Amino acid sequence: MAQPTQPDSSQQPQVVYVQAPPEKKPFWKKKWFIVLAVIIVLVIAVQATGDGSKKSGPAADAGTSAGAGSAADGDFKKPEPAAGEAASPAAAANSSNVHNVTFTVTSNTATKADVTITSLDAKGNIQQQQENGVALPYTKTIEIDASVIFDASNANILTQVKDGEDITASVQIDDNKPSTSTSTGEYATVVASASS
pLDDT tens digits, one per residue of 46-81: 777 765 444 444 444 444 444 444 344 444 444 444
The CATH number assigned to the domain holding 168 equals: 2.60.40
Does residue 26 lie in a domain region? Answer: no
Does residue 170 lie in a domain region? Answer: yes
Does residue 184 lie in a domain region? Answer: yes
Q: How far apart are CA 55 and CA 35, in angstroms?
A: 32
54: left (phi over 0), alpha (psi -120 to 50) or beta: beta
Does this model's pTM top 0.75?
A: no
| Residue 141: domain span | 96-193
Does residue 124 lie in a domain region? Answer: yes
Does residue 58 lie in a domain region? Answer: no
Q: How far apart are CA 80 and CA 173, in angstroms?
A: 21
Residue 74: helix, strand or coil by DSSP?
coil
pLDDT tens track for 97-120: 888 889 999 999 999 999 999 887
How many structural domains are present in the chain?
Answer: 1
